[in-house]
Amino acid sequence: MKKIKLAILTFVLAFSFSVQSNSKTVPASFADLAERLMPSVVNISTTQTVTTTSNPFPFTFPPGSPFEDMFREFGTPQERKSSALGSGFIIDEKGIVVTNNHVIQNAEDIIVRVNGDEEYKAKVIGADPLSDIAVLQLETKDKFTPVGFGDSDKARIGDWVIAIGNPFGLGGTVTSGIISARNRSIGLSRYEDYIQTDASINSGNSGGPLFDMNGDVIGINTAILGRNGSIGIGFSIPANSAKVVIDQLIEFGETKRGWLGVRIQDVTQEIADVEKLDEPRGALVASVAENSPSDKGGIKAGDIILEFNGVRINQMKELPAIVAKTKVGTTVKVKIWRNKKELVKNILLGRLETSDDFKVSDKKSKPPKDIIIEDLKITVRKLTKEEIKIRKLPNQTSGLIVTQIGNTSPLLKSVEANSIIVEAQKIKIKTAKDLEKIVKDVLKSNQKTILLAIYNNQNQRRYIGVKLD
């Protein structure tokens, strides 16, 4: 009987401890936290002048008609004021406000409302379209209640968060939810590492803060999925990435991002197999800009960047963000994979905003005849100097333009007509015979996979791994 009572007591204590532990992680109310944070969240309204032309005729044309633009020229230009709404948050008692760039872009007047009723004019300290971040200064000597940034890298999927903002112009609206996912990319900007949340975010929430349960900002609410308002999927810029940009905008009025000078792509399983890399990881260098930091530091097309400044690169998309956050003028160690072994290169980082495009050649040449590569079931011709100029390729480029692709070609799904084959198995291609020889060597081997470097129709240099029959 004593053993039974002891077992029951143990169970009751364990259950009680579990309930108490859960009560600490599941908030009974967000009221105290919201009350403390709301004075730091602001509503932003902007105005700009939009010029339109009226139709002077008593008839109209359907949208897209060639006459629509023609007759619009005869109309009278008319100006009207257009307004937009957004959110933001105060990070300094002197009235420094953070918001999205798209909230204030092209604005002529910016009005910031604090605590729902106090209105202030604001000027732009600095704005960055690439990250969609802007920093404003309220034109007043009043003091304000700022909020601080948390460590967004420590935020975990399932953590509670609250969003405060100005949805549909209603102002002072608090919503709660959890972090649904991390490291999201949705195709909005060059640098994407969004926090996904199910806390309701709607039109007008842009630029507002995403808070953790300590009241620290871990994200800037930026985008929603769905045209008709929130459907439970919102995206926020992580605080750690945003803070680097914000600090630069406050100090310099502009960004100063690190620049390597390379175009990169994912390392696929086929490319990893060809390169004898243990697994698909890192960022494959598709091309190197002439006279760029990478060019001067010895990085070549075909290298795989495994580490940057001591940080392991697991996926290609991680590298641009890490490079951008690194101080311009810093010498960093870049670990690469070349010829089936690791090498380390010391690179002096340049500045992205002042980087130059690839140089081109002015020389001309006549197009040669088409040649069929039987083993690949494609037709090619030699790249000319004139085509290098027209397509704005590096002036040392050599290769073959793909003019036709057969229906049974192994390249059918991965290469477009007018693409340029510049390398095969890391060997530069100058003539059709060069490519034919390499293909035959691959077909005789056990691997049966060929690694091609191409310029696609957008003139982006890429590597593709192709299985040959």
> Looking at the annotation, which residues are catalytic?
102, 132, 206
Give the span between the Cα atoms of 422 and 401, in whole angstroms: 9
Outline where 253-338 has alpha helix (H): 269-275, 293-297, 318-325
Would you say 49 and 80 are in contact if contact means Cβ atoms under 8 Å apart?
Answer: yes
Q: Compute CA distances 385 → 398, 399, 417, whole Å.
A: 9, 11, 19
Question: How many Cα neighbours within 13 Å face the side chain of 337?
Answer: 22
Closest C-alpha to 128, from 220, 219, 18, 248 = 248
What is the residue-wise DSSP string for 67-97?
HHHHHHTTSPEEEEEEEEEEEEEEEETTTEE
Structure tokens at 225: 């999925």
Closest C-alpha to 420, from 464, 455, 459, 371 = 455
Closest C-alpha to 137, from 113, 120, 159 = 120
Find residue 120's DSSP bridge partners.
Answer: 112
How many residues are given for the chain?
Answer: 469
Find residue 113's DSSP bridge partners.
Answer: 43, 119
Conformation bin of residue 425: beta by default, left when phi > 0, alpha when psi is -120 to 50: left
Helix (H) or strand (E) holding 289: none
Which single residue is written with the structure tokens 């060019």? 295
User: In the structure, how many helices (H) and strands (E) does the chain have?
Assistant: 10, 27
Find residue 344's DSSP bridge partners.
Answer: 335
Structure tokens at 61: 């044309």
